[in-house]
Amino acid sequence: MSTVASLVREEDAASVAAPPRDIRIALLGLGQVGSAVAALARTSTHASHRFAVASALVRSPERVRPIDPSTLPLTMDGAAALDTRPDVVVEVLGGLEPARTLVLAALARRIPVVTANKSLLAAHGDELIAAAARTSTPLLHEAAVLAGVPFLGTFSRRPLASDVTALSGIVNGTSNFILSRMAADRAGFRQALLDAQQAGYAEPEPSKDVDGDDATEKLCVLLRHFAGISVAPALIDRTGVGGVEPCDLECASSFGGAIRPIVAAEWESGTPSAFVGPAFVASSHPLSRIDGVQNAISLRTRWSGDVFFSGPGAGPTVTAATVLDDVVEAVRLGGTPPLLRATRTVTSCDVPVTGWFIRLVADDLSDAQRAPATLTRLGVRVRRVSPVVERYGQQRQWVLAGPCTDAHVRAALDVLETTAGCRTRPIRAIE
């Protein structure tokens, strides 16, 4: 009779007996992430497989890189990289071309593809997924969103768990790092951004992080994955974190919350509504506790209530580990057809009704109740009002208001600017 112990021993024996499989990778791109993939491929060990970089595609062989390129089979020719007959193509070039052409070429040859490229997926996801489905070839992109948290693949295999009706999250590590540094160390925006770049979190062009473009592309990937909605990034309302002041962060903390770089969307009514940007997050919301380079996502599921994932969202090694796990998964899946969700393309995206955290600035706010009273009279439900503080030679005050539409809050703030000479800056509030 087999006991559990004997079964375990048999399993051990089987894995000892089978030689590790070599997985040959064509690595497209040798920047921060590509170099980390090459380095980790060399050092990571597992009983079942070994990685070998069969070719590494670069644009400029002479460029200084985090890894010594002379130890790798470099090529400047994408077609030649595919001709090495790799088991898996890893695309970490970033950007749209030549990434799109090479991924399509690999899929046409039935070579599984792993990519971390959210720009590519946001812009051409429909075309790439269709090409993968046509040839029953894996196209995995776990590292494109929440790079260090393997959740997309789990949901792809589970159609009931992935019946999601709304989501909110923090998906840009650089922005979260910047706001957290500004709040904790009173660092200036520029210093915090510099630190994020030095740690390898920021995109090569950091305006993609701080202006919300990176987060918007990731939201598009999430919307396709969980809502079956294909939406162009340009249709999503977005605000960058650049306008947040250290005193906003102080006040948010005194209100018991925090300002975080949020993405949120819901599509229960059919038409999606979404926003990307800094938002006041009440302490009752789990995203209020996600700081530094950490990312998180809260999914409202139809059958299992709210589920929450968090972990590191950026960084070369974190991303490389997820990419290489996708490589192993791609080999394991082979020609298994993916579970596909029907996708519809939308040509507009609403903005949701949310609460608001409003900064008021004026030469004289000595009657601390006056501006909040005006907002109340205009139908904006005022929940909290901060004391008036003197900053940068002017008076500042913050108001936390209940849910209302963009149009409503902006019309009320226009009145305030005209009648009370206040300058205002509203950011969304979620709880």
Binding site for ligand HSE (CB under 6 A): 147, 172-174, 201-203, 209, 214, 313-314
CB 351, min distance to ligand HSE, A: 23
Q: How far is CA 209 from CA 17, 206, 238, 310, 315, in A?
A: 48, 5, 12, 19, 13
Burial 95-120 (b: 16+ CB within 10 A, else e): eeeebbebbbbbbeeebbbbbbbbbb
Angle between helices 406-420 and 370-377 (to 10 degrees): 140
Contact predicate 398/248, CB 8 Å: yes
Closer Cβ to ligand HSE, 202 or 281, answer by number: 202
Contact predicate 68/42, CB 8 Å: no
208 assigned to active site: no
SS3 394: strand
Give the dihedral sign, CA 178/183/189/191: negative
Exposed, middle or buried, 344 (CB in 10 Å: 0-12/13-18/19+)? exposed
Closer Cβ to ligand HSE, 171 or 380, answer by number: 171
- Rounded Cα distance between 91 and 56, Å, is 10
Closer Cβ to ligand HSE, 151 or 201, answer by number: 201
CB 92, min distance to ligand HSE, A: 11
CB 145, min distance to ligand HSE, A: 8
Helices (H), 273-398: 316-333, 370-377
CB 339, min distance to ligand HSE, A: 25
What is the rounded end-to-end Cα distance, in angstroms, of the chain?
57
Catalytic residue among 100, 218, 224, 225: 218
Closer Cβ to ligand HSE, 99 or 380, answer by number: 99
For residue 53, give the H/E element and its range: strand 49-57
CB 102, min distance to ligand HSE, A: 20
Closer Cβ to ligand HSE, 278 or 355, answer by number: 278
CB 313, min distance to ligand HSE, A: 5
Give the dihedral sign, CA 179/185/186/187: negative
Closer Cβ to ligand HSE, 121 or 147, answer by number: 147
- Known catalytic residues? 218
